[in-house]
Amino acid sequence: MLADVLIVLAKVVLALTWTLLLALFLTWVERKESAVMQDRIGANRASVFGLRLFGLFQPFADAIKMLFKEDFAPTFSQRALHWLAPTFSFFFVSVAIVAVPFGDTVRLFGRRIPLQVVDLNAAVLFVLAMLSLGIYGILVSGWASANRYALIGSLRGAAQLISYEVALGLSLVGLIMVFPSLSLSRIVESQGALLFGFLPKWGVFLQPLGFAVFFLAGMAGTKRVPFDLPEGESEIIGFYTEYGGLKFGLFMFTDFLEVIVLSAMSTTLFFGGWQVPWLGDGGFAFPWGGRLDVAPWAVTVLRVLAFNLKVFFFCWLQILTRWTYPRFRYDQIMDLGWKVLVPLGVGNILITGLILAARG
């Protein structure tokens, strides 16, 4: 019993550390990737004892800077709520990560330990719910700031998130119909099979439209460019108008956590999670008939690595998107949500249902 608790605790710590470190790393990646895209170099000055490491210490320098900034709140703001808002956002996003499987199971000290904090049987719903709850952070921050721009920003945020929540949910219905489960670990396991004997049975191959809708709606949910209407720094500054220092840092960090959660969910639901193509528990079984035996520990390592690589690819993709496209207009963003993504999601369900019915 005690061992179970300890194991869960260890997994929680590991998962959180992984997420937070990745988010920290992403702040650096964002700077560097945008710089490289724009023929620049990017932050490279932060150093420890003269060691620069391409500016890898920049996130720590930023963190220290934000920690030591003045904890400012406007005169008429509601102090408690003002503080609570960023923690709200931060908390719900970091909670969402617990349902994501990082790998398959490992055998340690005679126990089978799934590399997943909790294997919820309704994990898909859980993650969606947690992401939706994050909206309270935005709403509260806008209200507590006692600032018109912040309020407008938070209302925009709420409207945008609710709109895309619908599309996000609809896009997953088809997937759940194909892999008849709401458990993420079950979905990942189902994606280990092969399609037509050679193609990995990943969600993206079964539900290409569903993935497109899911990824787009998910990106809108992260509130980053080109979907940064709630922030809109060139027009209304947005819901963190009155935030500075650590509190602003939390908001910013939440953004990166959302990027990670979206990447992890995309990986898990549509790109086989920790699955490596053609790698079974015993080793590779290539479709052209070749076989390659791999030690069980190596299989686990490969799978965790694959998961991380996929997540990282989606993070990269999102940052690329963020630095490529300009911001949508508000009516365009609503159009995209309600008139494009929602009908596409419904259509996807229809098509999936028809195909499933036809195949009996």
Partner 1 sequence: MIKAWLVVKELLRGAGITSRHFFVNMTFHTLRLFGIKTKRRGAVTIQYPEERKELSPRHRSLHRIRPRDDGRPSCVACMLCVTVCPSECISVEAAEDPDPEVQKVPAKFVVDLNRCCFCGFCVEACPVDAIRMDTGEIRLASKTRAGLEARLDKP
One-letter amino acid for residue 234 of the chain: S
Residue 298 as a binder of partner 1 (CB under 8 A): the answer is no
Residue 309 as a binder of partner 1 (CB under 8 A): the answer is no
Between CA 255 and CA 145 the distance in angstroms is: 19
One-letter amino acid for residue 252 of the chain: M
Between CA 73 and CA 83 the distance in angstroms is: 9
Kindly indicate which of the ranges 32-40, 81-89, 166-174, 181-189 contains the residues binding partner 1, using the contact rule CB under 8 A: 32-40
The first and second tokens of residue 62, run together, are 């930023």
Size of the site for partner 1 (CB under 8 A): 13
Q: How far is CA 25 from the centre of its chain?
A: 14
Residue 332 as a binder of partner 1 (CB under 8 A): the answer is no
Residue 52 as a binder of partner 1 (CB under 8 A): the answer is no
Kindly indicate which of the ranges 28-36, 72-80, 128-136, 251-259 contains the residues binding partner 1, using the contact rule CB under 8 A: 28-36
Could you tell me the smallest distance in angstroms from the CB atom of residue 286 to partner 1? 29
Half-sphere exposure of 94 (CA within 13 A, CB side): 22
Residue 47 as a binder of partner 1 (CB under 8 A): the answer is no
* Residue 131 near residue 221 (C-beta atoms within 8 A): yes
Residue 325 as a binder of partner 1 (CB under 8 A): the answer is yes
Residue 312 as a binder of partner 1 (CB under 8 A): the answer is no
User: CA nearest 25: which of 322, 222, 309, 260?
Assistant: 260
Among 22, 29, 33, 270, binds partner 1 (CB under 8 A): 33
Among 41, 199, 305, 355, binds partner 1 (CB under 8 A): 41
Kindly indicate which of the ranges 34-42, 119-127, 130-138, 287-295 contains the residues binding partner 1, using the contact rule CB under 8 A: 34-42
Helix (H) or strand (E) holding 113: strand 111-114
Between CA 39 and CA 130 the distance in angstroms is: 38
Kindly indicate which of the ranges 3-11, 31-39, 91-99, 113-121 contains the residues binding partner 1, using the contact rule CB under 8 A: 31-39
- 283 beta partners: 293
| Interface residues toward partner 1, by CB under 8 A | 33, 35-41, 320-321, 323-325
